[in-house]
Amino acid sequence: MIVSFSLENWMSFRDRATFSMVASRERQHGERVPRLGRYQTRILPIAALYGGNASGKTSLFQALRFVRDLVTRGSRPDSLIPVQPFLLDAEIARRPSRFAFELLVGETIHEFSFAVTRKAVLEERLVVINSASEKVLYDRRDGAPHFSGALAGNQALKFAFQGTRDNQLFLTNSVFQKIDEFRAVHDWFDRNLALIAPDSRFGALDLLFAGRHPLGIAASKALLQFDTGIVRLGQEEIPFDDIPMPESTRVELQEEVREGRSARLLDDSNRDLVFVFRENGELTARKLVTHHLKADGTEARFDIRQESDGTRRLIDLLPAFLSLTRQETERVFVIDEIDRSLHTLLVRNLIGNYLSGCSTGSRSQMLFTTHDVQIMDQQLLRRDEMWATERDDSGASTLIPFSAYKDIRYDKDIRKSYLQGRLGGIPHVSPASLLTGRGMAEDNTGTG
C-alpha cells in the first residue's frame, strides 16, 4: 500500500507536493478503511483526483510511472535519466527533482526517497519505519553510501555500490546483483504498482489465454452484466506466419519466447490483441475475440476492433477491478482518466463494487484521476479520499484534499461547492468571444 508519496520539481509541480493516503479523523465509511495495528494508523483504500485540464493530474500519474520504471528497469550506461523538471522557472529547472514514498511492504512501512538530475542520482535513502522509531538502511550522498548496523560490514553491498553507475539507483543495481537485502521494496514497485493510462490496451487479459483462468471467466460474466452485448470473451488461433510484423521482431520472438511462455503483440493498424506462445517447440498465435448473442440463440463472433470505444475501455479496466476484488491482493492500481469513454453509472458501479469488498484488513488500493463530478458523492467517497489539483498563475500545481476545507460537512452536496470553485481544481474558462472568433475579428479590423 501507498502511505504517502511526494514530488518536487517535476513537470507542473514546482514546489514539494504530498499525496497522503493516511485517513483523517473522519468516521464516514470507517468500516472499509484498512487499519495498520502496529502503527495505530488507518490507510485509505481509494483516492480520486480532480482538476481542470493541464492542472497536474496526469503529471502525478507520469511521476509514478517514471519512478516505477527507474526502479524496475534501471537506466542504460551513458544514457540520460528521463526526468522532466518544472520548465517555467529557469532556476528551478536546474535543480534536482525529488521523490519520496512511504510504502507498506508486507506489514512494515518503508520510506524510499531519491533526488535526480538528467545526468545522475544525487541522493538516495531507504528507511524502515517501526512503530516508535526509524532505522536508516542506507543513505547515498556525495557519491558514497552509508549503511547502518550489520549492513555496514556487508562487503557484497559495498561491492554492489561500487558497480552502481551515476545514472542508476543503488536499490536497482543491488537487486540486479542478486542481493536480497532491499529486494522487497524493489519488488513492490515491480509487482504491486500497476499503472493504467488512458491509452492502455487490455491490461492483464493475457490471463484469458492461460486456459480457464478465474479472472478470464469473471471478465466474461462482468461484460454481460455491464450491458455490453458480449456474452463471453474468447480466443482464436491464427497462423504465426500471417501476423504482420517486421522481420526483426519475428526473429526476436523466435529467440525470446520459450516453452510455456508468451509475448503480447498489439496491432495498432486493426486494434487486434495477439499473443504468441511456444508449444511443443513451435510458435503459435491467438487473438482476443468477443461473442454476442444472435436472435436465434446462436453466437456471433466479433473482432476487438468491432467493439465500441467504451467496451474496449471496459476491457482495459476489468483486469484491475477483478484483481482488486481478490481478498489476498496487495496491488495498487493507478488509473489515469478512469471515466474515459465510460458512462458515469458504469464507473460508479465499478468503484462501488471495489469498495464493498474493502475492510479493515484489506491491503489493496486504487487511485484514479477523473473529471466525472457524479462520482463526487459522499455516499460513495469520504472527503479525505477526494483531492483537487490546482494550477496557479505561475503554472505551478498544488494538491489539496477536500478534507482540508472545514466547512464541508459530511451531509453537504460537495459537487455544488466544487463546481462553484470553492474547492479549486476547476478550469478557468476564457470568455466565449475568444472561441467564436469575434475577438479575433475585432483585432484584425483595419489591417491590410
Q: Tell me what the mean pLDDT of segment 214-218 comes to.
A: 71
Angle between helices 214-225 and 309-324 (to 10 degrees): 130
> Taking a C-beta distance cutoff of 8 angstroms, is the pair 50, 376 a contact?
yes
What's phi and psi for 31, nearest 5 deg?
-70, -15
**Residue 448 confidence (pLDDT) above 50:** no
Between 243 and 344, the more confident residue is: 344
Instruction: Please give the single-letter amino acid code of residue 236.
Output: E
User: What is the secondary structure of 143-184 as a DSSP string?
Assistant: TEEEE-GGGGG-HHHHHHHHT--TTS-HHHHHHHTT--TTHH
Percent of the chain having pLDDT more than 70?
A: 87
pLDDT digits (tens, 9 = 90+) for 26-44: 999 999 999 999 999 999 9
Please give the domain boundaries of the chain with CATH numbers for all domains: 1-198+336-431 (3.40.50), 205-311 (no CATH)
Going from the C-alpha of 57 to that of each of 12, 54, 72, the distances in angstroms are 9, 7, 23
How many CA atoms are closer than 13 Å to the CA of 399, on its beta-carbon side? 28
**Secondary structure element (H or E) that encloses residue 262, with its range:** strand 262-267
**Residue 246 confidence (pLDDT) above 90:** no
> Taking a C-beta distance cutoff of 8 angstroms, is the pair 365, 46 a contact?
yes
pLDDT digits (tens, 9 = 90+) for 313-328: 898 888 888 888 887 8
Q: Which three cell numbers stand for residue 338?
A: 478512469
Going from the C-alpha of 44 to that of each of 25, 216, 336, 434, the distances in angstroms are 12, 28, 18, 43
> Taking a C-beta distance cutoff of 8 angstroms, is the pair 63, 56 a contact?
no
Would you state the pLDDT for residue 214?
65
Between 441 and 47, the more confident residue is: 47
For all residues of the chain together, what is the average pLDDT?
Answer: 87
**Residue 284 confidence (pLDDT) above 70:** yes
Would you state the pLDDT for residue 250?
81
Between 49 and 239, the more confident residue is: 49
pLDDT digits (tens, 9 = 90+) for 126-172: 999 998 899 999 999 988 889 988 898 899 999 999 999 999 999 99
Listed range (6-10, 261-265, 418-422) with the worst mean pLDDT: 261-265
Full 3-state SS string of 2-35: EEEEEEECECCECCCEEEECECCCCCCCHHHCCE
| 249, 250, 252, 255 alpha-carbon torsion, rounded to 10° | 170
Would you state the pLDDT for residue 350?
94
Q: Which three cell numbers stand for residue 28?
A: 464516514
pLDDT digits (tens, 9 = 90+) for 354-404: 999 999 999 999 999 999 999 999 999 999 999 999 999 999 999 999 998
The SS3 assignment for 102 reads: strand
Would you state the pLDDT for residue 293?
93
Going from the C-alpha of 345 to that of each of 46, 159, 226, 337, 349, the distances in angstroms are 18, 56, 10, 15, 6
> Taking a C-beta distance cutoff of 8 angstroms, is the pair 5, 99 a contact?
yes
Q: What pLDDT band is residue 445 in, cutting at 50, 70 and 90?
A: very low
Would you state the pLDDT for residue 440?
47
Q: Which three cell numbers stand for residue 443?
A: 483585432
